[in-house]
């Protein structure tokens, strides 16, 4: 009763911000993302009568135990588990480690518990651990349907990883963990005077970004995702209390991206709830973007991602 799973982080082109059901983690709006090839969590779960209690090698144990309980209920077991989990990137810095983390935990624990679930069932389960984790189950370009019930809120592939040849060049400006957890900030989204307007527009925005991915027109796609990132941060800045996830390094790069574009390099940014920034470009321009970032003292690390595989068992091919 032991299994190891690997799951990617994902980058959202339309963001998950706010929930219509806190307990079930139903999002206020659907969202579109892609799985990232080089940001991932590897998690091993073992259930055994030898364990007196759940043994977990990271913090945030309460939320993980709650998730193990969901899986134990499904499998009708009561064995305690040992969980060993590791990210290959800094967590709590805007790189969505809870997405990769809960996707890997879900798949490893389900397998270790002997359950045989469909991808959709895995996605629904991962969502209950951390909303955006559901988007790290399928591969490539993914849509998370908001749904009105737990059973209808899951992510599915909309295009395979090879469909649109873009890259996400992550610039790590700091490994310092965010001060306000995403889950906390999400509870006060309605305090922004602009949240209602945002939600009213999200169906149209999701429809549009799917069309832009389908057409593979990079400029229009890039402009869209950058504006959507700005919108997310405009909402957070106008919440009470306000949330400022940018740091000076983030802001420096945001502005430079505009300068680089004006110099002829097609690159756009998106940012989640953290200081590290995702630069989106066509795969053919990755080296140019990397070269620009390497010149900056603000950049501590560069991680190049292409659209990647979703959650999978270790040593298993999909």
Q: How far apart are alpha carbons 36 and 9 in whole angstroms? A: 6
Number of helices followed by number of strands (H, E) in the chain = 8, 13
CB of 226 to its own copies, least distance (A): 8
Q: Tokens in use for 172? A: 């790590």
Closest CA to 134 of 31, 209, 265, 229: 31
Contact flag: residue 296 with its own copies (CB under 8 A): no
Contact flag: residue 198 with its own copies (CB under 8 A): yes
Q: How far apart are alpha carbons 293 and 291 in whole angstroms? A: 5
With CB under 8 A as the contact rule, the residue among 240, 287, 291, 316 that binds its own copies is 240
Please work out the total of residues on this chain that contact its own copies, with binding judged by CB under 8 A. Answer: 26
87 contact partners, CB below 8 Å, separation of at least 6: 39, 40, 41, 97, 100, 101
* Interface segment toward its own copies; rule CB under 8 A; list 79-87, 107-115, 164-172, 241-249: 241-249
CB of 208 to its own copies, least distance (A): 13
Contact flag: residue 181 with its own copies (CB under 8 A): no
Task: State which residue, 15 or 72, has the beta carbon closest to its own copies.
Answer: 15
* Interface segment toward its own copies; rule CB under 8 A; list 38-46, 96-104, 136-144, 225-233: 225-233
* Interface segment toward its own copies; rule CB under 8 A; list 14-22, 206-214, 234-242, 286-294: 234-242
CB of 83 to its own copies, least distance (A): 35
Q: How far apart are alpha carbons 32 and 291 in whole angstroms? A: 29
DSSP state for residue 271 in the 8-state scheme: E
Task: State which residue, 79 or 237, has the beta carbon closest to its own copies.
Answer: 237
Contact flag: residue 219 with its own copies (CB under 8 A): no
* Interface segment toward its own copies; rule CB under 8 A; list 41-49, 137-145, 250-258, 310-318: 250-258
Helices (H), the chain: 61-75, 97-112, 119-129, 182-185, 195-215, 218-237, 248-262, 286-294
Contact flag: residue 242 with its own copies (CB under 8 A): yes
9 contact partners, CB below 8 Å, separation of at least 6: 35, 36, 39, 40, 41, 89, 95, 96, 97, 99, 100, 136
Contact flag: residue 233 with its own copies (CB under 8 A): yes
Q: How far apart are alpha carbons 11 and 158 in whole angstroms? A: 15
* Residues within the interface to its own copies (CB under 8 A): 193-194, 196-198, 201, 226-227, 230-231, 233-235, 237-238, 240, 242, 244, 246-249, 251-252, 254-255
């Amino acid at each position: 009763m032991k299994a190891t799973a690997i799951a990617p982080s994902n980058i959202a082109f339309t963001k998950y911000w706010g929930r219509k059901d806190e307990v079930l983690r139903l999002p206020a709006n659907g969202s579109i993302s892609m799985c990232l090839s080089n940001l991932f969590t590897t998690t091993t779960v073992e259930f055994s009568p030898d364990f007196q209690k759940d043994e977990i090698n990271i913090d945030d144990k309460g939320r993980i135990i709650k998730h193990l309980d969901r899986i134990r209920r499904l499998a009708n077991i009561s064995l305690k588990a040992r969980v060993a989990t590791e990210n290959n990137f800094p967590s709590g810095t805007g790189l969505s480690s809870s997405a990769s983390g809960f996707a890997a935990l879900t798949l490893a624990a389900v397998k270790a518990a002997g359950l045989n679930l469909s991808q959709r069932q895995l996605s629904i389960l991962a969502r209950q651990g951390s909303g955006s984790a559901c988007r790290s189950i399928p591969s490539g370009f993914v849509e998370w349907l908001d749904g009105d019930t737990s059973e209808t809120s899951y992510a599915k592939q909309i295009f395979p990883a090879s469909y649109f040849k873009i890259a996400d060049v992550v610039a790590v400006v700091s490994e310092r963990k965010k001060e306000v957890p995403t889950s906390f900030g999400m509870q006060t989204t309605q305090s922004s005077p602009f949240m209602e307007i945002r939600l009213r527009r999200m169906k149209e925005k999701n429809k549009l970004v799917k069309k832009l991915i389908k057409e593979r027109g990079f400029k229009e796609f890039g402009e869209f995702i950058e504006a959507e990132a700005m919108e997310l941060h405009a909402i957070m800045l106008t919440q009470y209390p306000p949330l400022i996830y940018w740091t000076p390094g983030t802001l420096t790069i945001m502005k430079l991206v505009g300068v680089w574009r004006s110099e002829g390099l097609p690159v756009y940014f998106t940012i989640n709830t953290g200081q590290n920034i995702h630069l989106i470009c066509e795969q053919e321009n990755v080296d140019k973007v990397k070269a620009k970032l390497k010149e900056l003292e603000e950049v501590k690390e560069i991680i190049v991602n292409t659209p990647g595989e979703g959650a999978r068992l270790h040593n298993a091919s999909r």
